[in-house]
Amino acid sequence: MGSDMVAHTASDEAALIAAAKVGDADAFEALVRAHADAVYGHALRFFGDTGTAEDVAQEVFVKVFRSIGGFDGDAAFSTWLFRVTRNVCLDTFRKGKRRPTPMDPIDLAGQSSPGDLADDIALSASLEKALQGLAPEDRDAFNSVTLFGLTYPEAAAILAVPVGTVKSRVFRARRSLIATLGLNKGGAV
């Protein structure tokens, strides 16, 4: 059942991509909705700033809209999208458009109920701070695998490093996050 679900989802995404290529705005919007969290999450973890992450996500989807006709399907759409996202993040950083203001944990709260709100805010803020503490190459590898769902070989191709290097960077990132967040105490994971 799981593989049928994946195949069905992949064929749905392929249909959306084909429709978006010929100008179907609804199909493009569906692609944006399906991938917006991953793009925004990567940008947020890259810069640590919600405003910059929003700007980057918007620029990513403008670039995707302009260049989707050139997407040939040789790689998964998520792989191609990660490459575009990473490049926009790097270009934004190089151009000095980065706004290094700290993330406001209250923005993470939204309209949540106050019951678990404090715990949710603390965990989100701690996680984002821990992610910012990772070496950039570890964070890139970690984000490619966890946010974008890329396989190790796909991430290796984009990051231009061997598969073993991606694996070790993801392992190092996970180990660092567990230690930083104190998840290895008392067997709690």
- What's the pLDDT score for residue 11? 76
Looking at residue 177, the DSSP 8-state letter turns out to be H
Query: How many domains, in total, are found in the chain?
Result: 2
* The last residue of a domain, from among 44, 79, 101: 101
Distance CA 108, CA 104 (A): 7
Indicate the angle between helix axes 163-181 and 114-132, nearest 10 degrees: 130
Rg of the Cα trace of the chain? 18
- Note the pTM of the prediction, 2 decimals: 0.64
| Tens of pLDDT, residues 17-35 | 999 999 999 999 999 999 9
Q: Would you say residue 173 lies in a domain?
A: yes
Cβ-proximal residues to 45 (8 Å cutoff; 6+ apart), any chain: 128, 131, 132, 139, 143, 147
| Tens of pLDDT, residues 48-106 | 888 889 999 999 999 999 999 989 888 889 889 998 998 898 888 888 755 444 333 33
* Domain span at 64: 1-101
Q: Would you say residue 118 lies in a domain?
A: no
Q: Would you say residue 35 lies in a domain?
A: yes
Q: Are the beta carbons of 152 and 145 closer than 8 angstroms?
A: yes
| Tens of pLDDT, residues 138-162 | 988 998 888 888 899 989 998 999 9
Give the CATH number of the domain where residue 174 resides. Answer: 1.10.10.10
Q: Would you say residue 5 lies in a domain?
A: yes
